[in-house]
A and B are shown apart, each in its own frame.
Chain A
Amino acid sequence: MKAPRFAYARPASVAEALALLDKHKDDARVLAGGQSLVPMLNFRVAAPKVLVDINRISALAGIKVTKSHVRIGALTRHVELERSQEIAKHLPLLASAVPHIAHPAVRNRGTLGGSCALADPAAELPACALVLGATFVLAGKKGERRVAAEDFFKGLYSTALKAGELLVAAEFPLPKPGYASAFGELARRHGDYAMVGVAAHGSKKDGLRVAFFGVGDRPEVLEADTVQGVLSKVTDLEPRADLHASAATKLHLAGVLAGRVLAQLA
């Protein structure tokens, strides 16, 4: 189907975007890469009266490395993460996750901010943000506030973003020496939604944080000192059956995949 009727606005700055979001409140939706929102419009799952297209706000794009963290603008596209030497160097977990996101033509448009603001339970980047301890920067009428990833993802397609707020960036702390990460997912066809996915980050000294996605309303983080410790907790997950697999199959696959992914850390 086609998208329902809407009015289109293309603000040139964050301030203009916030003014539009404030004026149109719940009638407005932010259009970033559109790789999930446009299908939702075409399926008529969403029918906002106003679309606020943030694609021309250059302040929202780009990757910046500081002494303490990597700041990634919300409008940074998956392809930029994929090609970035700085991401490969400082956040190898993101570099290994991005090729699993859909297909090249989709990665050319889809954005980090869009993926995190939508909070699809099968999405890769929210899981990475959780294990890397990212902080999201949210702009609103009254200024900016920062929300830790673990407080940002609330549930199925649900985040800490309030009406009128715009996700402007994610800040990923620079991993400490001795830390390693690994990523993997199982899908029926490369680029399809994950049946189950695993993002892991940690060190021998401080232990592991491992996010499982595609198995619940939001990524589920398991923490343990060792790989064995994480694997013994996998049975705590409570995946729900979906179109492709029963709950028991998903739980089994989560264990198998975790074993494979965590073996890369050994």
Chain B
Amino acid sequence: MNAPLETVEIALTVNGERIKRSVPARMNLADFLRTELELTGTHVGCEHGVCGACTVRVDGEIVRGCLMFACQADGCKVDTVEGLSDSREIEELQSAFVLTNALQCGFCTPGILMAAQALLRDLPNPTREQIREYLSGNYCRCTGYQAIVDAIEAVAKARAGRSK
């Protein structure tokens, strides 16, 4: 690709499914997932990378869906909260969130689940302080975070107990 284009042809894998689309260059990845693919679990909050509600995985690493253009995901493997939910990858986290009441309105929850899953991959046995630090990029305006930290800590301990 060399000549600059306002509309870009892209092919990518979203939650395991091959997708081909023609997108405006200015469309961000979060909007692409929501409007083109109707994957509305990825939420759009601040649109400048502060709130974390649009967190998705690109090639295995979490990113801000609002700070990447859909055309940049050409050739990439994208996973959203729907994919992680359907594959049961985040089943324990989801159950723990329900058990500890770690959500109220639920707007931040998909982004927090994506971040929490990444945290537990990188740091399987985090302290509460490390959980807070990792989630510093995800705003929740309902819970005060206490129950969210409880839920993630509970999952970490359950997984550690099983692997012994």
Contacts and interface: CB of A to CB of B under 8 A. Distances in A.
B72 A55 contact: yes
B52 A105 contact: yes
B3 interface: yes
B61 A108 contact: yes
B105 interface: no
A11 B2 contact: yes
A8 B136 contact: no
B154 interface: no
A50 B68 CA distance: 16
B107 to A, nearest CB: 17
A104 B6 CA distance: 30
B152 interface: no
Contacts, number: 113
Contacts of A108: 61-63
Contact of A43 (B2, B3, B48, B71): B48
B25 A104 contact: no
A4 B3 CA distance: 19
Interface in B56-83: 61-64, 66-69, 71-72
B47 A105 contact: no
Contact of B28 (A2, A6, A12, A50): A2
Given A4-B26, A8-B8, A35 B49 contact: yes
Most buried by A among B27, B28, B69, B119: B69
Interface residues of B, number: 38
B26 A39 contact: no
Given A5-B6, A106-B137, A51 B25 contact: yes
Contact of A105 (B4, B25, B132, B137): B137
A42 B122 CA distance: 31
A11 B8 CA distance: 14
Given A39-B67, A109-B68, A8 B137 contact: no
A7 B134 CA distance: 35
B134 A104 contact: yes
Interface of A: 1-12, 16, 20, 24, 31, 34-35, 38-39, 41-43, 50-53, 55, 79, 102-106, 108-109, 189-191
Interface of B: 1-6, 8, 24-28, 31, 47-49, 52, 55, 61-64, 66-69, 71-72, 115, 118-119, 122, 132-134, 136-138
